[in-house]
Structure 1
Amino acid sequence: MSVKKHIPNLLTLLNLFCGCIAIVLVSDFNFEYAFYFVCLGIFFDFFDGFFARKFGVAGPLGVQLDSLADMVTSGVAPGYTMVYLLSGMTFHMPLADYLPYLGFIITLGACYRLANFNIDTRQSDSFIGLPTPANTLFIMSLPLVLQYQGDTFWGDLLVNKYVLLSITVLSAFVMNAEIPLFSLKIKNFSVAKYKLQIGFVFFSVALIVLLKVVAVPLIIVSYVLLSVLNTIFSKKELA
């Protein structure tokens, strides 16, 4: 039995394991380490597909396993995080206060996207709608922005429940919207061919250096906006 055959699925299970740990950490209000474990899970999620293609062992089991693991790391974890943000970061949420539970709209949106992704043949080289890992990084970074920028404009914004609810609904929508997003995969180094991707990477690094944790949600928003502008200008060039 070839060991290579099991490496991609092992990485997928490690993604799931990291997602489970992240959920426990969110319950303990340890949002920083929850963010780190989600990042680690997304790292494993990227490389399971990479090794499956490299070793020629991609199959239907891996596809289904990948979606199930993503459902926890990039579905339940961010939804659960939003529940706590909407609750005002308290353990004691009365059942009558239904608003915080609307945070799980993110989980529902991620579930629908993951199921649809498995049957959508258009998303092999690029994405239509925001990928669940990108949305997860956005949501999981919000408590850190609140933690480190609580006395700034960003902190004031993220304690407003209406803003958080708007983010919740919008994120579920963007994951499933018919919005073409440019791929960040660079298959061969060509500045002319991948100038948008390369420019976006440099832009992202600059934002992280300047703004630190605040940069994470801004990078995800910029990714969506740049993709929309790229689609508009590409259509104009073809017209």
Structure 2
Amino acid sequence: MKKHIPNILTLLNLLCGTIAVILAVTGRTEIAALFVFLGIFFDFFDGFAARKLQVQSDMGLQLDSLADMVTSGVVPGIVMYHLLQLSLDPGSWGQGISIDLSAPTGFIPFLGLLIPLASAYRLAKFNIDDDQQTSFTGLPTPANTLFILSLPLILAYQANDITVSVIRNTWVLVFITFVSCYMLNARVKLFALKFKSRGFRENAVKYIFLVLCVLLLAIMRFAAIPVIILLYVIVSLLTNSRSISH
């Protein structure tokens, strides 16, 4: 029975992602974000459960990526489509997906769908790369998803003149889309939050990062998420450069 526990958690991730897709398509992006966060929670613990129960399998690896493709690939693409649509038509927020190719800029929201493509490529590479057991090459899809899903949450619950002007700017969103696709597949080593032991010395970077995450979330709430993802990349790069120098 225990060998099925990780796969059940993975399927719960997929269930949350599927619900999030329906919600995102109908314009309820804030509730979709809640199910994505829940799906990412299951995604973290399916691997943790597999390691603790010593029931890792090739099937579990493939199933995990298939679930991630929905929760952390399709959903952020739909949300970015909505954000780009909002930047072109401020009255469209909260409504279902609409397609207007009659306008010269009608194709722009479709750029958001580059994110699922980049996510699929990243997940496929991960499955055949044996060097990503203790670290990641490129930004993990859940981290990228958290970044993108934080944007509508900031608009909904922490809107001010600055955040609205930035997040509703079409070219800022296009820039985020392209950077997102690049970072998913960049040849950049990023540390993984996997603990082989509880010792502080060998896990100092991870412990300090987690403490900073908690503090930032307590102070900045949803606005902390993009900062945390950026901090994650910066800390990884600094850690890598320090390792090379030694």
Task: Determine if the alignment matches structure 1 residue 203 to structure 2 residue 212.
Answer: yes
Alignment of 1:75-224 (within 5 A): 75-88=73-86, 89=93, 91-96=97-102, 97-224=106-233
User: Could you say which residue in structure 2 is the equivalent of 1:35?
Assistant: 33
Q: Give the C-alpha shift of residue 225 in structure 1.
A: 1.3
Code of the residue aligned with 2:47 in structure 1: it is G
Q: Give the C-alpha shift of residue 202 in structure 1.
A: 1.3
3-state SS, counterpart of residue 208 of structure 1: helix
Identity %: 49
Q: Give the C-alpha shift of residue 77 in structure 1.
A: 0.4
TM-score normalised by the chain length of structure 2: 0.91
**Poorly superposed stretches of 4+, deviation over 4 Å:** none
Q: Give the C-alpha shift of residue 156 in structure 1.
A: 1.2
Greater shift in the superposed pair: 118-127 or 56-65: 56-65
Q: Does the 8 Å CA contact 1:150/1:156 hold for their aligned counterparts?
A: no
Deviations 1:109-157 (CA, angstroms, capped at 9, x unpaired): 1000000000011000111111101111111111011222332312210
Task: Determine if the alignment matches structure 1 residue 15 to structure 2 residue 9.
Answer: no
> Any stretches of 5+ residues in structure 2 without a counterpart?
87-92
Q: Give the C-alpha shift of residue 51 in structure 1.
A: 2.1
Whole-Å separation in 2 of the counterparts to 1:47 and 1:192: 24
Code of the residue aligned with 1:8 in structure 2: it is P
The aligned length equals: 235
Code of the residue aligned with 2:41 in structure 1: it is F
Whole-Å separation in 1 of the counterparts to 2:59 and 2:131: 20
Deviations 1:30-89 (CA, angstroms, capped at 9, x unpaired): 222211111111111112222222333222211111111110000000011000000013
Distance 1:115 1:4, change over 3 A: same
3-state SS, counterpart of residue 193 of structure 1: helix
Code of the residue aligned with 2:79 in structure 1: it is T
3-state SS, counterpart of residue 237 of structure 2: helix
Q: Give the C-alpha shift of residue 198 in structure 1.
A: 1.2
Q: Give the C-alpha shift of residue 232 in structure 1.
A: 1.7
User: Could you say which residue in structure 2 is the equivalent of 1:52?
Assistant: 50
Q: Does the 8 Å CA contact 1:18/1:37 hold for their aligned counterparts?
A: yes
Whole-Å separation in 1 of the counterparts to 2:52 and 2:198: 19
Q: Give the C-alpha shift of residue 209 in structure 1.
A: 1.2
RMSD: 1.4
Deviations 1:90-124 (CA, angstroms, capped at 9, x unpaired): 54330341100110111111000000000011000
Q: Give the C-alpha shift of residue 203 in structure 1.
A: 1.0
